[in-house]
Amino acid sequence: MGNKQVIVGLGSCGIAAGAGKVYEKIKALKEVEGLDFELKKTSCVGMCYREPLVEVIDDSGSYLYGEIDEARAIEILNKHIEHNIPVQEYVVHSDLFKTVDNTFTDSQVKIALRNCGYMDPENITDYENRDGYAAIKKIAIKGISREEVIKTVLDSGLRGRGGGGFPTGLKWRFANNNKSEDKYIICNADEGDPGAFMDRSVLEGDPHAVLEGMIIGAYAIEANGGVIYCRAEYPLAIKRLNIAIGQAREKGYLGKNILGIEGFNLDIYIKEGAGAFVCGEETALIASIEGERGMPRKRPPFPAASGLWKKPTNINNVETFANIPWIILNEAEAYSKYGTEKSKGTKVFALAGKVKRSGLVEVPMGMSIRDVIFKLGGGIQNDKKFKAVQMGGPSGGCIPEYLADTIVDYDSVNATGAIMGSGGMVIMDETTCMIDVAKFFLDFTQKESCGKCTFCRIGTKRMLEILTRITEGKGEMEDIARLEELAQQIKDSSLCGLGQTAPNPVLTTIKYFRDEYEAHIRDKKCPAKVCTGLLTYEVDADKCTGCTVCAKNCPTSCIDGERKEVHFIRQDDCIKCGTCYSKCKFDAIRLS
Amino acid sequence: MRISRISAQKSTTEEGKIDLSILDPLIQKYKNKKGNMIPLLQGTQETFGYIPTNAFLKISSETGLNLSEMYGVATFYAQFRLTPVGKYVIKVCHGTACHVQNAKAVTEMIKEALKIGDGETTTDRLFTLESVACLGCCSLAPVMMIKGEAYGKLDGTKAVKIIKNIRIQESQSS
């Protein structure tokens, strides 16, 4: 039978899709039937839309099987492992032949995600075998100076991947210039943007790369303390980070005089966040680590001068750190050859929403948004019309279809009024109401505002009220101007990024979808048929067959009618949940 | 969401029965450490599922942490609860991806089925319904998570069925 490996993808999304059960099934069968293969675990390879994923590597090459349940797993073991016959119809990717999913993988350049899905994240040897910890060893052996490390990062053109886009090398230089006995390096893993899951995947799939990036950063700025501030909502990421930290300590990558570099001492611990979006902001994050309410502080002084416990502190995001070892190992030019003039390298995006292939992609900067959505993402679900893409989460905005040829780089995306952000791309089709989306984000920022600045605290609330009244059909034409005025005031008078960017979702939707606002206000209509306050559900008497499905599924039992007779919706009790609409097989529920 | 959590009624009779001495190791571990407030509160919540009033008093008197500051921190972060929760906490994701895939309908159907509002607990203490921001499983939207297990590609009917199954299992085992 030869040497075979069976590798199961066990990231959070894979487990949610049932990969855990598949793994247990394969493990049990291996034992019971005495099958000869090596069973391994890995994390997310990015093809979330095909989860659960199982890879089989035999002497000829690799076969990645998608959408594997227990029954299919048995079939694969039976055919491929026992009889050497790959099950072609389940293969989604292979290095031997092309599949329909090649368009998803071919245009990608994996640097930050270089190991995700290709190794066991809980095994440090796997990481070392893939050039892991080779970058910090290179620094130790060649005696590369702090200034040289900073220069390499600066020359690579790497900019902060958390959304700020500040040059990483420059940030390191500022922190290095401030001398102090104690200094801290912090990894911001408080990925709060709803609709974004890049950092989670990196932490779950390649925790050692983040650690190595932090170790290199600590060397560069002479930090002796490290903290990873991670969302408590990511239990698997925390677990794998803890394992990685333990292994790194054992192997001497953390500790005293690391790799023989005299005086280079570092330990890293994890601080679990407690659920506050504002803690993604640097100074709020520091306050939270110190055990206080996560409220931003006035800058200057910047963290580089006075940060955690008033010591010089450098904070970078997960994806930024994951890039660092690769850059040190391959030199700055290898990284900066990708990308545009001002945005170098690659960027990871999380595709979600109404796109056919949702998942994680890493593309060179400069690719057009349209290519990301249609080439990699495979287009819109059910081939509906592509309407807009939301980038940058609550701080970003909606880019309309006609601007989809905008390229992904910091400055081009900023010019549209959205921001690159941390890399969430939520794709929307014609059935998404843009006012509803704007309201959704305002509702989020309004709840998450820490309350320190008046305009952010009360202004977002007032904007939300106006948006709510528009979606209920009670808006006035002057409301659009009121929203714009408030938005400007909030931007001007907020201390931190949360408030300064909170109005962006509203401003971009007004800019690009003003007609939809006007339809809600003037015509009392929601063109996308989402805003329930403006809709009524009715039974089309010509199409209703009296099958009773709608009545059975109605949560408030407000649909009356005998079997084989036309049904009727009592409007007073209808909560407009849309269940009847989605359940009716005869298209007999009308929205008006 | 936050305001309702602060002002929610607490049943003081129940709190009298809680054995607070199991917090002693936690307090010993973090006492006199800087930045200890959040880990102390997190540890307490892990033990009891929420933070009882008496636990605030005990931690404050034994560590010297200011009671008002502790309360300020506990009400600032979404993670902390000041009232007991059900055995199963149903976390319905309302991240962007789930929102555009109609997560609202999932929450509405669960509310109807369990006869509770968002953030509330059923009278039999079996279920608590919570709306949360992004669970990070966007590709499976809409998603809910019960006891660490994520359920994806939901609609209201599917979600209610999952919850009903849990209730049936519970009544059989008890």
Identify the CATH number of the domain in which residue B127 sits: 3.40.30.10
Search chain B and give the residue with CA nearest A15.
Answer: B150
Chain A CB contacts of B79 under 8 Å are 232, 273-275
Residues B42 and B110 reside in one and the same domain: no
Between these two residues, A581 and A479, which has the higher pLDDT value? Answer: A479
Chain A CB contacts of B141 under 8 Å are 352-353, 358
Would residue B34 count as lying in a domain?
A: yes
Which of B41, B72, B100 is facing A426, going by the closest CB pair? B100
Would residue A574 count as lying in a domain?
A: yes
Confidence (pLDDT) at A483: 97
End of a domain among B31, B48, B76?
B76
Residues B116 and B155 reside in one and the same domain: yes
Please judge whether A12 and B136 are an interchain contact, meaning their C-beta atoms are less than 8 angstroms apart: yes
Distance CA B166, CA B114 (A): 13
Confidence (pLDDT) at A519: 96
Would residue A526 count as lying in a domain?
A: no
Would residue B141 count as lying in a domain?
A: yes
The total of structural domains in chain A comes to 5
Considering only residues 197 to 216 of chain A, which have any Cβ-Cβ distance to chain B shorter than 8 Å?
197, 200
- Reported ipTM: the value is 0.85
Would residue B151 count as lying in a domain?
A: yes
Residues B72 and B94 reside in one and the same domain: no
Residues B14 and B54 reside in one and the same domain: yes
pLDDT at A270 over 80: yes
Confidence (pLDDT) at A2: 62
A573 touches chain B (CB under 8 A): no
- pLDDT tens digits, one per residue of A155-200: 999 999 988 899 999 999 999 999 999 999 999 999 888 878 899 9
Answer whether A269's CB lies under 8 Å from A228's CB.
yes
Would residue A561 count as lying in a domain?
A: yes
Confidence (pLDDT) at B122: 93
* Chain A: closest CA distance from residue B173 (Å): 23
Residues A423 and A438 reside in one and the same domain: no
Residues B13 and B63 reside in one and the same domain: yes
Would residue B108 count as lying in a domain?
A: yes
CATH code of the domain in which A500 resides: 1.20.1440.230
- DSSP codes of every residue in A297-352: --SSSPTTTS-GGGS-EEEEEHHHHHHHHHHHHHHHHHHHTSB-SSSBSEEEEEEE
Confidence (pLDDT) at B90: 94
- Give the phi and the psi of residue A85 in degrees, each rounded to 5: -115, 105
Mean pLDDT calculated for residue range A521-541: 90
Confidence (pLDDT) at B13: 55
Residues B108 and B61 reside in one and the same domain: no
Distance CA A427, CA A381 (A): 10
Confidence (pLDDT) at B14: 62
- DSSP codes of every residue in B69-135: HHHHHHHHSTT--SS---SEEEEEE-SHHHHHTTHHHHHHHHHHHHT--TT-B-TTS-EEEEEES--
Work out how many CB contacts closer than 8 A connect A with B. 152
Side chain identity at A196, as an amino acid letter? A
Residues A312 and A354 reside in one and the same domain: no
Give the domain range for residue A569: 536-591
pLDDT at A134 over 80: yes
Search chain A and give the residue with CA nearest B137.
Answer: A13
Residues A438 and A418 reside in one and the same domain: no
Residues A27 and A151 reside in one and the same domain: no
Between these two residues, A561 and B5, which has the higher pLDDT value? Answer: A561
Please judge whether A233 and B132 are an interchain contact, meaning their C-beta atoms are less than 8 angstroms apart: yes
Residues B70 and B145 reside in one and the same domain: no
Average pLDDT, chain A: 93
- Dihedral sign computed on CA atoms, order A498, A502, A504, A505: positive
Would residue B81 count as lying in a domain?
A: no
Pick from A10, A13, A468 the residue to mutate for testing the B interface (most B CBs within 10 Å): A13
Would residue A366 count as lying in a domain?
A: yes
Question: A479: which 2 tokens?
Answer: 């409301």
The residue assigned the tokens 């790497």 is A158
Which of A289, A426, A428 is facing B35, going by the closest CB pair? A289
Residues A235 and A219 reside in one and the same domain: yes
- pLDDT tens digits, one per residue of B85-129: 899 999 999 988 888 888 988 998 899 899 999 989 999 999 999
Confidence (pLDDT) at B30: 92
Residues B72 and B93 reside in one and the same domain: no
Search chain B and give the residue with CA nearest A575.
Answer: B108
Confidence (pLDDT) at A575: 83
Confidence (pLDDT) at B15: 63
Search chain A and give the residue with CA nearest B133.
Answer: A194
Would residue A360 count as lying in a domain?
A: yes
What residues pair up with A167 in beta bridges, in sequence order?
A: A159
Is pTM, for the whole model, over 0.95?
Answer: no
pLDDT at A74 over 80: yes
Would residue A531 count as lying in a domain?
A: no
Beta strands in A128-213 (DSSP E): 184-189
Residue B8 pLDDT grade (very low, low, confident, very high; cuts 50, 70, 90)? very low
Residues A413 and A438 reside in one and the same domain: no
Distance CA A88, CA A80 (A): 10
Would residue B82 count as lying in a domain?
A: no
Residues A219 and A253 reside in one and the same domain: yes
End of a domain among B76, B109, B124?
B76
- pLDDT tens digits, one per residue of B47-66: 998 999 999 999 999 999 99
Residues A89 and A225 reside in one and the same domain: no
Residues A258 and A371 reside in one and the same domain: no
Confidence (pLDDT) at B6: 41
The total of structural domains in chain B comes to 2
- pLDDT tens digits, one per residue of B11-37: 555 666 788 899 999 999 999 888 899
Between these two residues, A105 and B174, which has the higher pLDDT value? Answer: A105
Considering only residues 54 to 83 of chain B, which have any Cβ-Cβ distance to chain A shorter than 8 Å?
69, 72-73, 76-80
Would residue A23 count as lying in a domain?
A: yes
Residues A331 and A351 reside in one and the same domain: no
Please judge whether A12 and B150 are an interchain contact, meaning their C-beta atoms are less than 8 angstroms apart: yes
Residues A218 and A275 reside in one and the same domain: yes
Which of B96, B108, B150 is facing A577, going by the closest CB pair? B108
- pLDDT tens digits, one per residue of A307-356: 999 999 999 999 999 999 999 999 999 999 999 999 999 999 999 999 99
Mean pLDDT calculated for residue range A483-493: 96
Please judge whether A276 and B157 are an interchain contact, meaning their C-beta atoms are less than 8 angstroms apart: no
Distance CA A229, CA B59 (A): 24
Mean pLDDT calculated for residue range A440-456: 94
Would residue A513 count as lying in a domain?
A: yes
- pLDDT tens digits, one per residue of A143-158: 999 999 999 999 999 9
Distance CA B92, CA B90 (A): 6
Considering only residues 114 to 173 of chain B, which have any Cβ-Cβ distance to chain A shorter than 8 Å?
132-141, 143, 148-152, 155-157
Give the domain range for residue B144: 88-173
Residues B63 and B101 reside in one and the same domain: no
Confidence (pLDDT) at A15: 86
Chain A CB contacts of B152 under 8 Å are 16-17
Give the CA angle between residues A251, A253, A256 to the nearest 5°: 105
Distance CA A438, CA A449 (A): 16
- pLDDT tens digits, one per residue of A224-240: 999 999 988 888 899 99
Closest by CA position to A547, among listed A579, A570, A592, A580: A580
- pLDDT tens digits, one per residue of B122-165: 999 999 999 887 777 787 889 998 987 888 889 888 999 999 99
Residues A55 and A24 reside in one and the same domain: yes
Query: How many angstroms separate the Cα of A93 from the Cα of each of A3, A73, A195, A341, A380?
Result: 20, 16, 26, 33, 21
End of a domain among A365, A394, A429?
A429
Task: Give the burial string for A449-476 (b: 16+ CB within 10 Å, else e).
Answer: bbebbebbbebbebbbebbbbbbebebe
Residues B69 and B117 reside in one and the same domain: no
Please judge whether A291 and B141 are an interchain contact, meaning their C-beta atoms are less than 8 angstroms apart: no
